[in-house]
Each structure stands twice: as C-alpha cells, then as structure tokens.
Amino acid sequence: MVPKPFVDELRQIVGKANVLDSAVNLQLYQYDAYLEERRPDAVVFVSSTDEVAGVVRVCNKYDVPFVPRGGGTNLSGGTIPFKGGVVIEMIRMNRILEVDRANLRARVQPGLFNLELGTALAPLGYQYLPDPASQKAATLGGNVAENSGGPHCFKYGVTTNHVLGLTVVLPDGEVAKIGGKAADTPGYDLTGTFVGSEGTLGICTEVVVRIVRLAEGVKTMLAIYDSIEEGSETVSAIVAAGMIPATLEMMDQLVIKAVEESIHCGLPLDCATVLIIEVDGLMDDLEAQTQAIVDLCKAHGAREVRVAKEDAERALLWAGRRGAFGAVARITPSYLVCDGTVPRTALPKVLRRVAEVSKKYNLLIPNVFHAGDGNLHPLILFDWRDADQKARVMKAGMEILQLCVEMGGTISGEHGVGLEKIDAMSLVFTEADIRSQVRVKQAFDPKNLANPGKMFPLPEEVRRAA
Amino acid sequence: MQPDLAGLRGQLEKIVGVDGVGADPAVTTRLAVGGLVPGLCVRPGTQEEVSQVLATCAAANAAVIPRGGGTAMGLGNRPSRADVIVQLDRLDRIVEFDAANLCVTVEAGVKLAGLQKMLAEKKEILPLDPPADSRVTAGGLVATNASGPSRLLYGTARDWVLGMRVALPDGERIHCGGKVIKNVSGYDMNKLFIGSLGTLGIVTEVTFKLLPAPATRAGVVGLFPELSQATAAVATILESVLLPEALDLLDPEAVALLAPRLGLEAPAGAYGLAVALAGSAATVERQARDFSALFRDRGGRTFPLPDGKTVLAWDTIRNVFGLLPVPPATRVLCKISVPIGRTGALLASAGALGRRHGMHATVMAHAGSGVVWACYLLGPKAPPDEVLGDALEGLRREAEAAEGSLILQDAPASLKARMDVWGKPGEGFGVMRRLKAEFDPRGLCNPGRFLGGL
C-alpha cells in the first residue's frame, strides 16, 4: 500500500482522472505476456517528459518503486510491478516529433508503436529497421528497454544499433538528454548502457533513431523441408557461401499447422519445417542471390522453394510468421516462450536436444525461430489450470536455457531477463560479472526504485554475498 | 599518499618476471602521457597477469595507464597521475576464430591489420577501419572507440563487439556479452566499456562479429570546383538507394596530398568526394556508373581508383594526415561530430579557421556519418596557444550549437593546458561520475584524462 498523500501528489501532477487506484483498474495492470502477476498500488497515465519527471520525483520522495509500461507485450515479466508501487503508463506519449531526413534521424515518443513508425516512414521512402514480431502492439519505449530484436536483425542489428540518443528521466527525477543526432558523444556511452536495461535505470521519454532508405529491391522465399535438420543446415550453408540475407526465419510443423489454420497463408501442412528467407538491397544482384539461395536450399534437401512473385504474396508470408505466437494459442490455453540463443552452427544439435526435453517432460514444444541469429523460441505448451504441468514447463524451460549455454549461447536473445530468468543469469555470468552489473544499477538508481526485483537478485543481496 | 614505487616494482616483478617491469628513465620517458613520465612500465603476458597487476597497483595506491599500440596516447587531458604504464602488447593471442559463426575472439594486444590478414584467409572481415591499423590494437580500438571511413555502411565498435573480458581497477576479472549476435542477458556492459578510455578498467579480450568479405571492391573520386557542389552531391547520395561503403569529403589540401598518390588530375582548390564500393560485381559496377553520373550532374569530374588497388588507395585516404611532413608534436588534430547534414558546414569552418590564423589546415570528413577531422600544422606563423585555444573554442561552439561536439584528438600539452580536450560535460554527467565512482572509487585508472576529469 502507498500512503494517501503520495497518491494526492501524483494527482496534482497528472490530474485526477489520470491516476487509477481502484482494485478493478489495478487488476488490469498486474500482468504482461509472461506468466506471473503482481498488482500495482497505482497506475499513472503520463503525457510529457515533465509529467514523468514529476511522478518519478514523487516516487523518489516517498521511496515508492515504479515501473514504466508501454504495450505490455513483455515476455519475461519485465512490466510486472514485482515490488508493487506505481505503473507509469507511457502509451499516450505516442507522437512522432520529427522526421529529419537531412540527418537520417527521427525523434519519437516512447509510447509509439513500432509499426506506426514504419507506416509513417514508408511513404517517404524510409524505414526504421528493428522489427520485433510484436511490432503492432510493442512500443518503441519498450523496444528500447528490452533492446528488442526481430526477424531483420541478422543483417541489420538490434534496437541498440539504431538508437542514437535518448531523453531519460533518471530514478531521482533528473531529466537528461544523452547521445543525440550526432555520433560519438564524448563520455561514457550512456545511451548504449540504457538500451536493454529493462526499465531498471530510468524511463526514456524521447528516442532519437536512425532511419534509412527503403531497400531498392526485396525478394522473399519460402523453402519447404521434410526434415528439420536439413532446414537448419541450409541456414549455415547460406552464410558459409558469403551471403547475409535480411532474414532467415524458421518454423516447425506444429507452428506451421497453427499458423495455417489461423492465417491461411498457404503453408504446406505435411512438411517438417519451412524457412522464410529474404534478401534485400540493390536490384542488380537480387535475382542472382535469390537463385543461389534457391539452389542451396535444394542442394540441402528442400522439396520445394517458392519465390514470392508480388508484394501481396510476400506480405502473406510475413503475416504468417508474425502471427506465429498468436496462432499457437489455438493449441493450448498457455505457453511459455523460451528465448535462447546459440551460435548458428549449433542449431541442428540444439533442436534435437529440445525434442528430447519435450519427450522427457511430456510437453508439446513447437519451435519458431530466427535461425540466422541462432535465436530460438521453443514454445512450451500447457494448460495454466494444471499446476503439475506448469511445474514441468518451468523445469523444461530452464533445461532448454542450459542447453543453449552449453553450446556457447546465452539465456536471452531478445525477450529480456525480467522476472523469468533471474536464476538463469548465473548460468552465463559469474558472481563478479553480476556484481559489476549491479554497480551500474547503483550508479543510476542508488535507491533501487526503478523496476526493482528484475534482472538480478536485489543489489543488497549481491553485495552481501560479495 | 605517494605510492612506494620501489616496493611496487618488486611486487610486479613477482607477477610478470624481472624483464616484464621497466623503470629505466630511458624507457619510461618515451612512455610519457601528456608530459607526465611514469615511474614504472609493466608488460603482463596473460589476462590473469593484467588482473594481478591491477590488484597489486590498487593495493599500493598507484595510478595505472593502459597502453596498446600507442596510437591514441595523445588522446585525453593530462592525467592527474601516471605511476604505472600497463603495456598490453604481449596479449597478442587469437583466442578463437569461429569462421562458420562469423566471430573471432582476440586478446587486447592483437593488432588490427594482422587480424584482418588472418580473417582474409577465410574470406571474412572485421569492418572497422581506423587509421594506423598496423599499430592499432583490438583493446585500443575498443577503449578509444576508433573508427574510419567505412563506418558509413558498417557503424562503429559498438556495432561489432559481441563480448569482452575486462580486468576491473581492483583486479577483479569480468566478462560482458558473449559470442552470439543477439544477447540481452543482463545490461549491455560492452557499451559501457567501449570508448571509456580505460577509466573503468582494462579490456583484456574482445569478441567481434564478422562479415563475409565482399566479392568485389572499387572506388571513385569526384572532384568539384566548389564545396557547395560536393555537399549537394553528398545530399543526393544520402537520399538515394545507393549503398556506398564510405563517402569521404576532402578539402583542397587533402585533395592536394592525395592526388599524386591516387592518380588524380586535381586542379588547385578542388574539393573531393571519395567513394568506396563493396559487394557483388553487379552492384559495384552499377554504383560506380551511378556515382560517376551523379558527380557529373553536380559539376564534378570522376576518377576511378586504380583497379585492384582500391584497398591500398583507401589505406592512403584514411591515413591522409600521416602524409603531412611533420612530427605529431607540432600539430593539432580535431575530431568534430555533428548531425550528418551539417558536415559540409563544419568542414568549411574548420578550413577557414586555419586560413584565418595562418596555419596550414587539412580537413576531411566522413560525410555520411557527420564526422569531420581537421589537422592544423603549428608552423612558425601559428598563433600563440591562447589565440588558437579561443579559435578552436569558437569552432567547438559551432559544433555544439548543432548538437555536436569537438574533441582534441591530439595536441601539444601547452594547448591542452588552456583548452579542455573533451569540452564541457553535458547532461547525464552525474551518472558518469557515479559510474566512475562505482568501478574505480579511488580514481586509479587513467585518472583525469577523460571527460570532466573522469
């Protein structure tokens, strides 16, 4: 519970109607796309940097924790107010402040949906490259907090490679512009440190991103395989041939079936896996690249390779891929999305081992993944009403992460640590590594008010263990 | 408390051997930083030894300054203390080259040019091309965030470092990131250390992401009578779908230095636009054609770089200041960063500053990245430090008014005594200070050299 004067002060800043504290309202903000829940003490709708700073200052004054929230699509519990306190709802700060073509930058507010930026830029001939599959509902502020990836990261990098500057409200309420339209700002790279910090270092209220011209040409292919092994081996073969496609996406049979039933994008139901491969760039060699890839797919056992002939066909393929997580919900009421990453060449092996985990725990685990980056998303299906199943799911999830680490990979490629993977951090980091990360947290947030209880054990515990 | 250097010397010798510690003034004088001569120089042979050296120095309250290839020792303010130079040249091992997964892990002292040579055998590249790459080390590249012309297409160290190992100021060893290209496990600690100039610890190992080597390379140079024609061409290029690897704008002095070496028939006063092209033969040929046409439309003449010598030509271009016939001590090298669209204006201002003050100025810019490099020779007619300092502060104000910055990449100590190398710290400096305090509470790593005395 938070004291009444605290809530009154919040209302003075954002107006009475913009602070929610009734039980019914709070219930709507106690979950995200992960499996845990925790009710906040208040929800505040903000519409400016000043308001965010004001709210954070009040939180600081009363030592109340706060968690920024955008689209609520987080898959690791990053948005759940684990220690209670205030959820700061950023969704109204959703304007594009500036499209600066001369400097190849855009300045946007954090509540803007990723897709909306793309939609606004496309008619001008530009794009913002990071494109998480959830882009319809995921905000750019959330993308910044999670350092989001997406299908196009293999060639173009993740969010951090495209964010050049931020306006942040630090956990004590100070507002700072860090980085900006110019490169190489003197001093530590606070922007790079902030991106991916999962709301634990403060709240960004403005984002300066790189925009680039739309590619002159794009070719999208669908390669169909009767064996998942052959599909994943093709991925390495393409890279070994010196090509970096814009995307190399893979879905297995269970996912294909679910996608086909919900989106009807023409995927064959009897195959083991499909690869969605896209090449882009200058027109001059796209045909040749496409042909080379088609040949490689066939040489590695693809039974058929379709090349999208028109935009509509391409869009349909992508609708299928982007709709995969949603479509899988047709199979069971719940699922846990794993998000491990391995070196690309380890994919065939890790997929075999995931199949073993599936058998061992008697759980269905369909797979959809960014094969080019070695980032896999096994979806562990279950029914949340069955406590025994849920326990098995958590164990299976942890085992899959362990597999990834064993193969030289890591515990999260793009969904974040949040609540879900606090325990898994020790799979990849030593105590000294984690202590050094806690030093960063202490420098930004000495009172531990910004999204506390995420990413690593609480600072005081880490310190005590030291 | 003054550190007991004689005692420290004995302790360091126990870690790295007697030959690994230098105290001879003839050696240490050559390693002076900002005029400050260190008491000792230590050459650890392993990453573990780096960490032991740091722990030992910390216990003795001795300030340490890391040194790689020595190409950036002129960068930064005069350190407040310089007790021990930690020389990293013996950390020269390739830890792992995983060609199939396009990544390589190297120790901090590995030289960039040598690394590229090894990668080339497997037809791969690390697309970072700072000047002096035969001397630049992996650790130095990362610690100083060095970059070159091809940052236009590929970005900078922050886009290519997947992981690193760092010895913290108290000797604790940590690793950041990993070897996979998507990694959000914990904070992105790589970013904190990239460009931190050794003030938070010493980078001992770096894992880089790699690219397949382009099948074809070519280059063209456009020469323009007027700067406005060249900058108009830049704007057109940046609005186009073309994907040059590099796009360097050269002032007439830079053109004059490069012309004989690149085979350009350059009229006096011409501005140059050098374009690097990399990719498949089809895209490279098409772009060479398009750039030539585009230059012609803007009133320029096009010279193709000689076939098969593109790499060599670019090596010359990015090292253009090395062609100036003077020792580094008699020059001032400025790096100006501004939003891309302001590059031409700052290039012009930087050149005008030289003319106004009777200095020979050579200016070039990574025109698609907003980075301008100006090199001033301090000849007999050069103004006194206070005049030069004021003039450069004026140029800095112009950069800052455009939301940019100006740093002195290299300058004589007397100028640095009058003018801060980095400029005034901006917003968020409080956090930077607290980061420094968390990682190096006693201020022993490269003290005073970085922004705001960090």
Helix (H) or strand (E) holding A380: strand A375-382
Q: Which residue of B has its CA nearest to A195?
A: B188
Per-residue pLDDT, B379: 86
Query: What is the Cα–Cα distance from A337 to A326, expressed in whole angstroms?
Result: 11
Average pLDDT over residues A90-108: 98
Residues 6+ apart with CB under 8 A from B215: A242, B279, B280, B281
For the beta carbon of residue A102, count every other beta carbon within 10 angstroms: 12
Tell whether B60 and B118 lie within a shared domain. yes
Tally Cβ neighbours within 10 Å of residue B341: 20
- Rounded distance, CA A66 to CA A55, Å? 9
**Domain over A4-89 is classified CATH 3.30.43.10:** yes
| B91 lies in the same domain as B154 | yes
Q: What is the CATH number of domain A217-326?
A: 3.30.70.2190
d(CA A130, CA B196): 27
Report how far residue A94's alpha carbon sits from residue B379's, in angstroms, rounded to the nearest whole number: 55
Q: How far is A4 from chain B (nearest CA, A)?
A: 32
CA dist., res. A55 & res. A33, Å (int): 25
Residues A195 and A161: their CA atoms lie apart, in Å, by: 10
**Residue A460 predicted with pLDDT over 60:** no
- β-strands B216-224, A212-213 pairing: unpaired
Angle between the N-to-C axes of helices B227-239 and B281-297, in degrees from 0 to 180, rounded to the nearest 10: 140
pLDDT, residue B306, reads 84
For residue B453, is it within any domain? no
What is the C-alpha to C-alpha distance for residues A405 and A418, in angstroms, rounded to an integer? 18
B316 and B392 together in one domain:
no
State the average pLDDT for chain A. 94
How close B101 gets to chain A, by Cα (Å)? 6
Biggest CA-to-CA distance, chain A: 70
pLDDT given at position A459: 53
- Rounded to an integer, the average pLDDT of A132-152 is 94
If one compares A456 and A358, the residue with the highest pLDDT of the two is A358
- Give the CA angle between residues B273, B150, B194 to the nearest 5°: 135
B402 interfacial to chain A (CB closer than 8 Å) = yes
Q: Is the pLDDT of residue B1 over 70?
A: no
Using the Cβ of A109 and the Cβ atoms of chain B, whether some distance falls under 8 Å is answered with no
- What is residue B279's predicted lDDT score, i.e. its pLDDT? 96
Q: Is B338 close to A190, i.e. CB distance below 8 A?
A: no
Of A186, A343, A437, which has the smallest distance from its Cβ to B405's Cβ?
A: A186
| Domain-ending residue, one of B271, B301, B320 | B320
Domain presence at residue B454: no
Q: pLDDT category, B222, cuts 50, 70, 90?
A: very high
The CA distance from B181 to B199, in Å, is 27
Q: What is the pLDDT of residue B326?
A: 79
Q: What is the CATH number of the domain that holds B226?
A: 3.30.70.3450
Cβ-count burial of B67 within 10 angstroms (0-12 exposed, 13-18 middle, 19+ buried)?
buried
If you average pLDDT over residues B133-156, what whole number do you get? 97
State the nearest Cα–Cα gap between B143 and chain A, in angstroms: 11
Mean pLDDT of chain B: 96
- CATH no., domain A333-406: 3.30.70.2740
Is residue B226 one of the residues assigned to a domain? Answer: yes
In a domain, B104, yes or no: yes
| A436 closest CB neighbour out of B174, B188, B240 | B174
Which of residues B304, B320, B336 is at a domain's end? B320
Strands B64-67 and B84-87: parallel
Higher pLDDT, B2 or A435: A435
Q: What is the pLDDT of residues B32-65, one digit of tens each?
A: 999 899 999 999 999 999 999 999 999 999 999 9
Which among B183, B286, B451 has CB closest to A187? B451
Which of B298, B320, B342 lies at the terminal end of a domain, its last residue? B320
Nearest to A438 by CA among A446, B384, A305: A446
Pairwise CA distance, residues B23 & B239, whole Å:
57
Report in angstroms the alpha-carbon separations of B177 from A147, A241, B285, B390.
Answer: 13, 27, 39, 43
Closest by CA to B138, choosing from B82, B40, B71, is B71
SS (H, E, C) A201-222: CCEEEEEEEECEECCCEEEEEE
Please identify which residue in the block is written with the tokens 């960039």. Answer: B112
Per 3-state DSSP, chain A is made up of helix, strand and coil in percentages (nearest 5) of: 40, 20, 40
Compare all CA atoms of chain B with the CA of A188 and give the residue at the minimum distance: B196
User: Cα dist. B157→A423, B140, B147, B197 in Å?
Assistant: 31, 11, 7, 13
Cβ contacts of residue A149 below 8 Å, gap of 6+?
A: A130, A132, A158, A159, A370, A373, A375, A413, A414, B182, B184
Is residue A182 classed as helix, strand or coil in its secondary structure?
A: coil
Q: In Å, how far is B397's CA from the nearest CA of chain A?
A: 14
B421: pLDDT strictly greater than 90? yes
Common-topology check for domains A217-326 and A333-406: yes
- Say how many C-beta atoms besides its own lie within 10 A of residue A127's C-beta: 17
Count of CB pairs separated by less than 8 Å, A with B: 263
Over residues A228-237, mean pLDDT? 93
Indicate the length of chain A as a whole number.
466
Given a cut of 90, whether residue A456 has pLDDT beyond it is: no
B365 and B265 fall within a common domain:
no
B237 and B286 together in one domain: yes
Residue A464 predicted with pLDDT over 80:
no
Residue B348 has pLDDT above 60, yes or no: yes
Q: In which residue are the tokens 């369909």 written?
A: A366
Residues in Cβ contact with B319 at an 8 Å cutoff, skipping those fewer than 6 apart = B131, B132
In the sheet that holds A105-108, the strands lie side by side as A96-100, A105-108, A203-210, A163-169, A175-179
Domain containing B164 — which CATH number? 3.30.465.10
Mark whether B158 and B273 lie in a shared domain.
no
Q: Select from B181, B189, B194 the Cβ nearest to the Cβ of A437.
A: B189
DSSP B32: -
Q: How many Å apart are CA B65 and CA B55, to the nearest integer?
A: 14
Whether ipTM exceeds 0.95: yes
Cβ of residue A426 closer than 8 Å to a chain B Cβ: no
pTM of the model: 0.97
Amino acid at B375: C
Q: What is the DSSP string of B39-75?
A: SEEE--SSHHHHHHHHHHHHHTT--EEEESSSTTTT-
Number of neighbours of residue B349 by Cβ within 10 angstroms: 18
CB contacts, 8 Å: A434 with chain B: 186
Task: Say whether A182 and B452 touch across the interface (CB within 8 A).
Answer: no
Q: Which H or E element spans position B222?
A: strand B216-224
Per-residue pLDDT, averaged over A139-162, amounts to 95
Residue A96 pairs in a beta bridge with A108
Q: Are B450 and A437 within 8 A, CB to CB?
A: no
B16 and B162 fall within a common domain: yes
> Residue B44 has which token pair?
């650890």
- Could you tell me which residues are beta bridge partners of residue B202? B167
Q: Indicate the DSSP class of residue B235.
A: H
3-state secondary structure of A399: helix
B316, B251: one domain: yes
Strand partners, A334: A382
Testing the interface with A: which of B51, B431, B450, B454 to mutate, by most A Cβ within 10 A? B431
Whole-angstrom Cα distance, residue A204 to residue A93? Answer: 11
The values of phi and psi at residue B70, to 5°, are 80, 10
Say whether both B290 and B370 belong to one domain: no
Comparing CB atoms, the residue among B178, B191, B286 nearest residue A428 is B178
Q: CA–CA distance from B417 to each of B387, B414, B451 (Å)?
A: 13, 5, 14
Which residue shows structure tokens 């050069």? Answer: B382
Instruction: Please determine, for residue B328, whether its predicted confidence score (pLDDT) is greater than 90.
Output: no
Interface of B with A in 96-115 (CB under 8 A): 98, 100-103
Same domain? For B19 and B91 the reply is: yes
Do residues B10 and B108 both lie within one domain?
yes
* Distance separating the N- and C-terminal Cα atoms of chain A: 32
What does the alpha-carbon distance between residue A133 and residue A71 come to, in Å, rounded to a whole number? 13
Which of 212-241 (B) contact A at CB < 8 A?
Answer: 212-213, 215, 235, 238-241
In a 3-state reduction of DSSP, which class is residue B35?
Answer: coil
Q: How many domains does chain B have?
A: 3
- CB contact B424 to A (< 8 Å): no
CATH class of the A96-213 domain in this structure: alpha beta
For residue A460, the SS3 value is helix
- Per-residue confidence (pLDDT) for residue B380, from 0 to 100: 86
Whether the pLDDT of residue A461 is over 70: the answer is no
Instruction: Let me know whether B22 and B152 are in one domain.
Output: yes
| C-alpha span between B283 and A279 (Å, rounded) | 14
Domain positions in chain A are 4-89, 96-213, 217-326, 333-406, 429-465
Structural domain containing residue B374: 328-416
- For residue B335, give the chain A residue with the closest CA: A184
pLDDT at B329: 74
* Interval A370-396: pLDDT, tens: 999 999 999 999 998 999 999 999 999
Query: Burial letters for B203-236: b for 16+ Cβ neighbours within 10 Å, e otherwise?
Result: bbbbbbbbbbbbeebbbbbbbbeebebbbbbbbe
Contact with chain A for residue B2, Cβ under 8 A: no
* Helix, strand, coil tally for chain B in percent (to 5): 40, 25, 40
Q: Work out the percent of chain A whose per-residue pLDDT is above 70.
A: 98
Residue B223 placed within a domain: yes
Residue A458: the pLDDT is 65
Closest CA to A319 of A119, A72, A116, A135: A135
Pairing of strands B103-107, B202-209: antiparallel
Beta strands across the sheet bearing B173-177: B94-98, B103-107, B202-209, B161-167, B173-177
Q: pLDDT tens digits for B356-366?
A: 999 999 999 99
Q: Which residue among B123, B180, B211 places its CB closest to the CB of A343?
A: B180
Interchain pair A413, B183: CB under 8 A: yes
- B123, B341, B423 member nearest A102 (Cβ): B341
Closest in A182, A213, A345 to B403, CB measured: A182
A95 neighbors A464 (Cβ within 8 angstroms) = no
User: Is it the case that residue B327 has pLDDT exceeding 80?
Assistant: no
pLDDT digits (tens, 9 = 90+) for A157-184: 999 999 999 999 999 999 999 999 999 9
